[in-house]
Amino acid sequence: MKNIVIVGIGGMGSGHAFAISSGSGNAVATFRDDRSGGFIHSTDTDLRTKMNLRGVYDIRESRMEWAKEHGFAVYESFEAVLADPEVDIVLLATPNDTHKELAIRALRAGKHVFCEKPAMITSKDLEDVMEVAKETGKIFYPRQNRRWDEDYLIVKKIYDEKLLGDVFRIESRVHGSRGIPGDWGRKKGCGGGMMLDWGVHLIDRVLDMIPEKVVSLYCQATHVTNKEVDDGFTLSMTFESGLQALIEVGTNNFIDLPLWYVTATDGSALIQNWNLDGKMMHRIPGDESDATPILAGSGLTKTMAPRRRDTVEELPLPQVEFDANALYVNLVDTVEGTAERIIKPEQTLRVLRLMEAALKSAETGEAVAFEG
């Protein structure tokens, strides 16, 4: 059981406050919908058995008032958080450009740090923080929570268990049409832009799934709504074995392409949206020498003719079982030394370096030989 204090109780921090205090781990306890609602599923750990929300702190007076109204204990200052010997873990949910300084101060004060994404704005900053963590013997744990998104875990299962044979191409997208919301998301100095906002998750997941070097990458960024930061990007990566990945974030897309599209030797899978609408199409071995040309636009095509129905079967997406609170649990277990760390700073460092390479590619129009 560890004591945790949340620093920064805006959008994400307030979610953590509800998530930890309710034990549900569900940051959306206050935004109930059909799929959430703050309930603890049978497969989820009750967070109250692992950590105690000791208090919160924010530099804005209005947020401190909000916290008191909701019954959360408040600290008077960041110094006061660090000075409290009962605090084991500081959760940083402050703007991206403050992570470095606050993390280093907390580590030097003998606290473990649980840090919202992107962990740092640059790989250099993360290297510096990792160095301080090493010196102080404290844990710096980046919150890459989207490794426990059900859509991702489904794709990971298809990949790991070769449900459709060997995967040779994976596409991961998120599309919105609202541009970049918020007050600092368009500012470069604050760590704005979609690469750092969503890219950090989508890239982390694909690198987590595929245990290979990235040998080549090419990135195209968009600047539809502003010039300072990317408001979207398309990143193509080629891994050592030839496996291809495409990662795309768009904020000016009025029609959503599927969240996931996977092609493998014996079939394809598609996940359309976060409701997990989707399917797998799986080849049934047999005679396929029956292609009849079809009319396609102004011409005929045999190559693109559809399959005979008895040579393919439609399957539902596989089901996955997981502890939705695994990240919080692993944080505490890592701090207590009772489990292997799942989210490693080295992994996040690799993601940050890859994002830097991608943004460089977008700027120069050149591919980057990444880990060749």
Q: Is 160 in the site for a second copy (CB under 8 A)?
A: no
Least distance between a second copy and beta carbon 324 (Å) = 7
Tell me whether residue 184 or residue 274 sits nearer to a second copy (CB atom).
274
Tell me whether residue 285 or residue 365 sits nearer to a second copy (CB atom): 365
Q: What is the DSSP letter of 369?
A: -
Query: Residue 2: beta bridge partners?
Result: 51
CA distance 181 to 183: 7
Q: Which residues between 161 and 220 bind a second copy (CB under 8 A)?
A: 168-169, 174-178, 180-182, 185, 194, 197-198, 215-216, 218, 220
> For a second copy, which is the closer residue by CB, 104 or 164?
164
Instruction: Provide the Cα torsion 10, 124, 201, 225; round to 10°.
Output: 70
Nearer to a second copy, 289 or 338 (CB): 289
Which region, judged by CB under 8 A, interacts with a second copy, from 71-79, 128-136, 291-299, 341-349?
Answer: 291-299
18 is a contact residue toward a second copy (CB under 8 A)? no
Using the rule CB under 8 A, is 300 a contact of a second copy?
yes
For a second copy, the binding residue among 305, 320, 323, 333 (CB under 8 A) is 305
**How distant, in Å, are the alpha carbons of 41, 83, 262, 275 from that of 177?**
33, 44, 24, 19
CA atoms within 13 A on the CB side of 140: 30
107 touches a second copy by CB under 8 A: no
Contact 92, 99 (CB under 8 A): yes
- The full 3-state SS of 227-294, as one line of letters, equals CCCCCEEEEEEEECCCCEEEEEEECCCCCCCCCEEEEECCEEEEECCCCCCEEEEEECCCCCCCCCCE
Which of 53-61, 69-77, 90-98, 260-268 is the region at the interface with a second copy (rule: CB under 8 A)? Answer: 260-268
* Under rule CB under 8 A, residue 74 binds a second copy: no
User: Residue 40 or 257: which CB sits closer to a second copy?
Assistant: 257
Judge whether 161 and 135 are in contact, CB under 8 Å: no
23-107-205 Cα angle (round to 5): 60
Shortest Å, Cβ 330 to a second copy: 14
- Rg (Cα) of the chain, in Å, rounded? 23
Q: Is residue 112 near a second copy by the rule CB under 8 A?
A: no
Which position among 261, 328, 354, 358 is part of the footprint of a second copy (CB under 8 A)? 261
Say whether residue 334 binds a second copy (CB under 8 A): no
Q: Which is nearer to a second copy, 272 or 347 (CB)?
A: 272
Handedness of CA 100, 104, 105, 111 (dihedral sign): positive
Cis ω before 118 (30° cut-off from 0): yes
Q: Residue 315 interacts with a second copy (CB under 8 A)? A: no
Stretch 216-255: interaction string toward a second copy, x if CB under 8 A: x-x-x-xxx---------x-x-x---x-x-x---xxxxxx
When asked if residue 141 is in the footprint of a second copy (CB under 8 A), the reply is no
For residue 260, the minimal CB distance to a second copy (Å) is: 11
Restricting to residues 339-358, which ones interact with a second copy according to CB under 8 A?
none
Span of 67-75, 84-92, 131-139, 301-309 interacting with a second copy by CB under 8 A: 301-309
**Minimum distance, C-beta of residue 340 to a second copy, in the bound complex (Å):** 21
Strands 51-57 and 2-7: parallel
CB of 151 closer than 8 Å to CB of 56: no
Q: What is the DSSP string of 59-94?
A: S-HHHHHHHHHTT--B-S-HHHHHH-TT--EEEE-S
